[in-house]
């Protein structure tokens, strides 16, 4: 294993089924961010010298971003779905065994101005267990 560039990252989606059967890359996206933060419960008690915590559940969520592409409305369509789809995030496709994936709900935003290409962003939240490397 080594450090690789994000240049060959991928964001794949399958909204038709709740498993990775027909994953397709979402066009014109160039960034993703994944949060694997864990909730912690404060269980501090009388007499403790400092706060004490116990871990709770992992909160898997994140964001994707890139440029509006009218030939691929996948992200917009994913945001309209009432059911989750399968999301796969790959940091570098030359090491495709290192990936993060699972069921997710998607949201989308479009930012358009006269000063540049329209941007599209989205957020996602886990809708079930996720696989991590």
Whether the pLDDT of residue 41 is over 70: the answer is yes
Q: What is the pLDDT of residue 96?
A: 80
Question: What is the C-alpha separation between 48 and 86, in angstroms, rounded?
Answer: 44
Sorted by where each begins, the domain ranges of the chain are: 7-40+51-131
Architecture of domain 7-40+51-131: Roll (2.30)
Residue range 8-40, pLDDT digits in tens: 999 999 987 655 668 889 989 999 999 999 999
**What pTM was estimated for this model as a whole?**
0.89
Structure token digits, residue 60: 């898997």
Buried b (16+ CB within 10 A) or exposed e, 92-122: beeeeeebbbbbbbbebeeeeeeeeeeebbb
What mean pLDDT value characterizes the chain?
93
At 74-119, the pLDDT tens digits run 999 999 999 999 999 999 999 988 999 999 999 999 999 999 999 9
- Give Rg (Cα) of the chain: 18
Contact 29, 11 (CB under 8 A): yes
């Amino acid at each position: 294993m080594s450090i690789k560039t994000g240049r060959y990252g991928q964001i794949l989606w399958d909204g038709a089924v709740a498993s990775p059967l027909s994953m397709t890359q979402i066009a014109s996206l160039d960034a993703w961010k994944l949060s694997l933060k864990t909730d912690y419960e404060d269980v501090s008690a009388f007499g403790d010298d400092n706060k004490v915590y116990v871990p709770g559940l992992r909160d898997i969520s994140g964001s994707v971003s890139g440029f509006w592409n009218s030939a691929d409305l996948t992200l917009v369509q994913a945001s309209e779905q009432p059911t989750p789809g399968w999301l796969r995030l790959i940091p570098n496709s030359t090491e495709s065994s290192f990936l993060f994936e699972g069921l997710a709900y998607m949201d989308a935003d479009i930012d358009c101005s006269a000063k540049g290409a329209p941007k599209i962003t989205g957020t996602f939240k886990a809708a079930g267990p996720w696989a991590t490397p």
